[in-house]
Amino acid sequence: MKSKDLVFKLLKELKDHNIDAYLIGGSSRDYLLNKRFVDIDICSKGTPLMNLLAMENYEVVNKDGNFYGVLKFLIEGYDVEITSLRKEGPYIKKRRPSYVEFIDNLEIDSLRRDFTINALYIDYLGNVYDFHNGLYDLKEGIIRMIGDPFVRINEDALRILRAIRLSEKLKFKLDEELEKVILNNYELIYSLNI
C-alpha cells in the first residue's frame, strides 16, 4: 500500500474511534509537495492510551515516548508515529521541554512546532489547517521559524541543524531573519549532546 493511502486509512480508523487525527510534520509537507514519504507522522486529539487502544490491531514498536505522548508502530512496512497534541513547558538544557500537557487544540499545538511548512495539519478528508502561512512558504520555497527565531533556537539548538538540513533537502531558502539568527548563534550547536 502507498504511504498516502495508508495515511488516510489510519486517519479514518482513528476517526471511527472518535479521535480527530491529522497528518503533520514532514509527512504533511511532503504529501502537499507530492513527494514520496516513508515515515508517517500523525498527531491526535486522543491521549496516548486512547491512541494505543484505537491502534490495538497494529504492532507497537515503541511506547517509551509516553511522557511526550508519542507511540510508534510498524504498519505495512511503514514507521508510523502517533503523537497526542500537546503544549510544552520551558525547555531544559536547550533541548527538551520540562513538561508536556495534552490538549485538543490544533492552533496551540502548532506553536510548539519548528517551521511553518511542518505545521500543516491534514485531516482524513484532506482538509488542510494552516495557522502560520505554511502553505505560502511551501509555495515560495521558504524555511521560516514559527515564532521568534532567536527564542526558538535558544529553546532547542537542534533547530539550527534541522533548518539547514531541510533547506538543503528541499532546495528552499532560509527566511532572512532565521538565517541571520543562525549565523549569529551557530555556537549553540556545541551545546548539543547528539
Q: What is the pLDDT of residue 194?
A: 58
Which single residue is written with the C-alpha cell 504533511?
28
Q: Which residue has better confidence, 32 or 191?
A: 32
**What would the pLDDT profile of 85-131 be if each residue is shown by its tens digit?**
999 888 876 667 888 899 999 999 999 999 999 999 999 999 999 99
Region 46-68 average pLDDT: 87
Amino acid (one-letter) located at 20: D
Chain centroid to CA 162: how far?
A: 12
Classify residue 129 by its DSSP letter.
E
Count the Cβ atoms, other than its own, within 10 Å of residue 130.
Answer: 19
**Helix, strand, coil % over all residues of the chain, rounded to 5:** 45, 25, 30
Instruction: Write out pLDDT tens, residues 23-51.
Output: 999 999 999 999 988 889 999 999 999 99
The structure's pTM equals: 0.93
Question: Which stretch of DSSP H or E encloses residue 75?
Answer: strand 70-75
| End-to-end CA separation in angstroms for the chain | 34
Question: Are 117 and 134 contacting, i.e. CB atoms less than 8 angstroms apart?
Answer: yes
As given in the structure block, the three cell numbers for residue 28 are 504533511
Torsions phi, psi of 177, nearest 5?
-65, -40
Predicted pLDDT of residue 38: 85
